[in-house]
Amino acid sequence: MTDDPRTSQPTRFPSEPEQKRPGFETAMRTKPDHGEESYVGKGLLEGRVALVTGGDSGIGRAVAIAYAREGANVAISYLEAEQADADETKAWVEKAGRRCLLLPGDIRDRALCTELVERTVGELGRLDILVNNAAAQTTNEDLNDIDDDTMEEAFAVNVIAMVRLAKAAVPHMQPGSTIVNTTSIQAKVATENMIVYAATKGAISSLTIGLSNLLAPKGIRVNAVAPGPVWTPIQPIAKPSDKLEMLGQDTPLGRAGQPSELAPAFVLLASKEGSYISGAVIPVTGGIPMY
């Protein structure tokens, strides 16, 4: 690897097998980089506790690893089918000398959202950081391809669960706590074959601003990170192999991002380094503008 941002990570993903939802890290031919060998902590989150949804793989795993190396204990939520991926994330968190609480379940379940927070506080002692990262990605070729059940599921996972988790978390949070949401470049570009997914991500961006305004008087900051094309298990679900190979080559930097390249933004927004940042959406897009 080099320091050149155009070539510091893989630029092609040949022969990557397609997957069915929810997508598994263990099934990927080209493994994503979560910072396992590169992320170096500075103690920025020492003594804190984070709950990361979708923490088993992809961006969620990279965030969990980075937070652990910054000193935080981490709870991760994930679907039961993703247990093998979750176990690997836990191993990396514990290798950093931190506790990792595994919380399987489907966040479309209203009761589970409350349970995730209660178990985190009960077993890890507190909650300082909520990372709303789990997402259901949907695609369409035409308007008639959009299935009602799939559309409702996307909003249930990407938006409604986020509100429920925030409602459950905030009563446990002290001033200085933070919420970090994962939105997407799709909130702005809204490509024609991802209109439902884009709509959920637009809602997340607006929700981030609204929650920031609502919670600022409590001393709780709320921000979002907007990834561009990133090499995670969500990609082999949404795209055929021929398109996967070229993922990210239409960005100004000419390649897809890696989860490890998202983690520092999540650390900034969760730490004192970002103490005057609230209501922001931070693009990590390989140069694609978000105006």
d(CA 212, CA 22): 30
d(CA 168, CA 58): 25
- Three-class SS state of 85: helix
Q: What is the token pair recorded at 28? A: 């990927």
Catalytic residue among 39, 67, 78, 197: 197
Q: Are strands 129-132 and 100-104 parallel, antiparallel or unpaired?
A: unpaired
Helix (H) or strand (E) holding 168, with range, is helix 161-169
d(CA 191, CA 213): 29
Which DSSP letter does residue 179 get?
Answer: E
**In angstroms, what CA-CA distances link 228 with 28, 113, 182, 207, 250?**
20, 27, 11, 19, 11
Catalytic site includes residue 291: no
- Which residues does the annotation mark as catalytic? 197
